[in-house]
Chain A
Amino acid sequence: MTSYSKTAAKRSGDSPLIARGLLWPSIIFLALITQIPFLVTIYLSLHNWNLMRPDMGITFSGISNFVDIVKRPEFWEVLKNTFLFTVFCLGMCLVSGMALALLLNRDFLGKGIIRTMFVSPFFIMPAVSGIVWKTVLLNPNFGFMAYLSSKLGVSPTDWLGQWPLTTIVFVVAWEWIPFFMLVLLAGLQSVSPDLMEASLLDGATKMQQFFHVTIPHLLRYIEVALLLGLIFIMQTFGEIYVTTSGGPGYASTNLSFYLYRLGFQGWDVGGASAVGVIMVVLTTIFMTILFKFMRRTFGGGLS
Chain B
Amino acid sequence: MRKLFPSLLTSITYLLALIYFAPVLWILLTGFKNEGDAVAMPPSIIFTPTLDNYRMILESGAGSYLGHSAVVSILSTFLALALGVPAAYALAILKLKKADDILFWFISTKMLPAVGIIIPLYLIIKQLHLLDSLIALIVLYTAMNVPLVVWMMRSFFKDVPYDTIEAYRVDGASGLQGFFKITLPLVRPGIMSTALLCLIFVWNEFFIGVSLTSTSAVTMPVYMASFMTQEGLFWAKMSSVASVAVLPALVLGWFTQRQLVRGLTMGAVKG
Q: Which residues of A contact B (CB under 8 A)?
A: 5-6, 8-9, 11-14, 16, 18-19, 21-23, 25-27, 29-30, 33-35, 37-38, 40-41, 44, 100, 103-104, 106, 108-110, 114-137, 142, 144, 147, 174, 179, 182-183, 185-187, 190, 220-221, 224-225, 228, 231, 234-235, 237-238, 241-243, 255-256, 259-260, 263-264, 269, 272-273, 275-277, 279-280, 283, 287, 291, 294, 298, 301-303
Q: A30 contacts B221, CB within 8 Å?
A: no
Closest to B175 in A: A18
B90 interface neighbour in A8, A22, A280, Cβ under 8 Å: A22
If the complex has contacts A12-B169, A22-B86, A298-B268, are A29 and B146 also in contact, measured as CB distance less than 8 A?
yes
Asked if B140 is an interface residue, CB under 8 A from chain A, the answer is yes
Q: B84 contacts A26, CB within 8 Å?
A: yes
If the complex has contacts A114-B17, A238-B206, are A12 and B166 also in contact, measured as CB distance less than 8 A?
yes
Residues of A within 8 A of B162 (CB): 8
Asked if B182 is an interface residue, CB under 8 A from chain A, the answer is no
A106 interface neighbour in B6, B94, B222, B257, Cβ under 8 Å: B6
Instruction: Tell me how far the C-beta of A102 lies from the nearest C-beta in chain B, rounded to whole angstroms.
Output: 9
Asked if B83 is an interface residue, CB under 8 A from chain A, the answer is yes
Q: A221-B269, A224-B268 are in contact. List 9 more A-B contacts (CB 8 A).
A: A40-B120, A119-B260, A123-B249, A128-B245, A135-B235, A182-B261, A182-B271, A185-B261, A187-B269
Q: B118 contacts A29, CB within 8 Å?
A: no
Instruction: Tell me how far the C-beta of A134 lies from the nearest C-beta in chain B, rounded to whole angstroms.
Output: 7
Residues of B within 8 A of A109 (CB): 10
Closest to B90 in A: A22
Instruction: Tell me how far the C-beta of B131 lies from the nearest C-beta in chain A, rounded to whole angstroms.
Output: 12
Q: B124 contacts A132, CB within 8 Å?
A: no
Asked if B51 is an interface residue, CB under 8 A from chain A, the answer is no
> How long is the Cα–Cα vector from A223 to B93 in the complex, in angstroms?
28
Q: B113 contacts A235, CB within 8 Å?
A: yes
Instruction: Tell me how far the C-beta of A30 lies from the nearest C-beta in chain B, rounded to whole angstroms.
Output: 5
Residues of A within 8 A of B110 (CB): 231
If the complex has contacts A30-B106, A183-B264, are A115 and B269 also in contact, measured as CB distance less than 8 A?
no
A131 interface neighbour in B83, B147, B227, B249, Cβ under 8 Å: B227
> How long is the Cα–Cα vector from A186 to B270 in the complex, in angstroms?
7
Residues of A within 8 A of B86 (CB): 21-23, 25-26
Instruction: Tell me how far the C-beta of A118 lies from the nearest C-beta in chain B, rounded to whole angstroms.
Output: 6
Q: Which 10 A-B pairs have the closest CB atoms?
A: A123-B253, A40-B120, A238-B206, A33-B143, A125-B204, A22-B90, A22-B86, A37-B117, A117-B21, A147-B41
> How long is the Cα–Cα vector from A301 to B150 in the complex, in angstroms?
16
Instruction: Tell me how far the C-beta of A66 lies from the nearest C-beta in chain B, rounded to whole angstroms.
Output: 15
Q: A228 contacts B94, CB within 8 Å?
A: no
Interchain Cβ contacts under 8 Å between A and B, 30 examples: A14-B94, A19-B90, A21-B86, A26-B150, A29-B142, A30-B146, A37-B124, A40-B117, A41-B117, A103-B16, A125-B245, A125-B249, A128-B221, A128-B242, A136-B23, A144-B41, A190-B270, A231-B110, A237-B115, A237-B206, A238-B210, A241-B210, A242-B224, A242-B228, A273-B120, A275-B115, A276-B115, A277-B116, A283-B113, A291-B104
Chain B 21-62 residues near chain A, CB threshold 8 A: 21, 23-24, 26-27, 39, 41-43
Residues of A within 8 A of B26 (CB): 132, 136
> How long is the Cα–Cα vector from A140 to B31 in the complex, in angstroms?
22
Asked if B180 is an interface residue, CB under 8 A from chain A, the answer is no
Instruction: Tell me how far the C-beta of B260 lies from the nearest C-beta in chain A, rounded to whole angstroms.
Output: 6
